[in-house]
């Protein structure tokens, strides 16, 4: 059973979904991607709970149940700051438990930035299709004025058509085009992440779909090679698209996450 808590973020309330576990061995903090919300990660949270986690998953500013203009991102560091506020709350609630951060897509960028800004606070970092390497095709849109309306195509998310259908029918998902400010913020933050600092000794798992067109695999892998910590496990799933937690081989991905 999930419950919601509210955290005061930098620019409004941040709603955090929680999956309790009275016998938890660790805390898992989950950061979702652009335009979506943490409610889409229920199956991920349930897998983590079964593995021994208590799970907290905020809706970022401008997403889901949280305050803010829909899917407008002005500064990734603001979202990383909100995530840190959530982390401080959950660490105070569970002071004896180590904290693991799981981030998907833009959430992977936020999670990586969190790790850079707050070294020593995480026990492990898990990245699913992080946009830390940018996306040359989307960056090219910024050269156009006005930029064309290019919403995320649900068919790009997974080889499982049911995933795209559920995404398209989800009222808490933002279905419009990404704003220029949002694209600029994401790509600018990717450049900041790539410039360092490194992740030090932080154990990191970085996973990607081979056929990801939203967060291309190779640019992100190149950035990770520059900022990697002492322990990096890298996985690329053959034929998989962007949402590897929702892919046809999701059980493999979830198993690799907890392994």
Q: Given this model, what pLDDT does residue 151 score? A: 81
Q: Is the sign of the CA dihedral 114, 249, 25, 86 positive or negative?
A: positive
Catalytic (active-site) positions: 105, 212, 242
pLDDT tens, position by position, 139-150: 888 888 888 887
**Average per-residue pLDDT in the chain?**
96
User: Under 8 Å CB-to-CB from 93, ≥6 apart: which residues?
Assistant: none
Please report where in the chains the tokens 């990586």 appear, as a residue. Answer: 112
Q: Given this model, what pLDDT does residue 150 score? A: 76
Q: Which domains does the chain have, with CATH numbers?
A: 3-254 (3.40.50.1820)
The confidence band for 1, taking pLDDT boundaries of 50, 70 and 90, is: confident
Q: Given this model, what pLDDT does residue 229 score? A: 83
* Whole-number Å distance between alpha carbons of 143 and 151: 17
Q: What is this structure's pTM?
A: 0.97
């Amino acid at each position: 059973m999930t419950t919601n808590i509210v955290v005061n973020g930098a620019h409004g309330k941040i709603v955090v979904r929680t999956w309790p576990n009275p016998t938890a061995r660790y805390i898992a903090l989950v950061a979702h991607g652009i335009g979506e919300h943490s409610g889409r990660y229920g199956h991920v949270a349930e897998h983590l709970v079964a593995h021994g986690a208590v799970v907290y998953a905020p809706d970022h500013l401008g997403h889901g149940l949280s305050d803010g203009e829909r899917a407008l991102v002005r500064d990734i560091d603001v979202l990383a700051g909100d995530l840190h506020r959530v982390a401080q709350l959950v660490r105070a609630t569970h002071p004896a438990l180590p904290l693991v951060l799981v981030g998907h897509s833009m959430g992977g960028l936020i999670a990586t930035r969190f790790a850079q800004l707050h070294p020593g606070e995480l026990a492990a970092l898990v990245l699913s299709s992080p946009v830390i390497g940018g996306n040359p095709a989307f960056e090219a849109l910024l050269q156009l004025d006005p930029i064309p309306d290019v919403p995320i195509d649900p068919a790009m998310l997974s080889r499982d058509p049911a995933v795209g259908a559920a995404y398209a029918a989800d009222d808490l998902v933002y279905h419009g085009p990404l704003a220029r400010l949002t694209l600029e913020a994401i790509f600018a933050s990717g450049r900041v992440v790539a410039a360092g600092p490194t992740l030090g000794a932080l154990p990191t798992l970085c996973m990607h779909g081979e056929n990801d067109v939203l967060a291309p695999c190779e640019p992100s892998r190149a950035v990770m090679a520059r900022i990697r910590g002492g322990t990096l496990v890298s996985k690329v799933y053959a034929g998989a698209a962007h949402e590897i937690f929702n892919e046809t081989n999701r059980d493999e991905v979830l198993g690799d996450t907890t392994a």
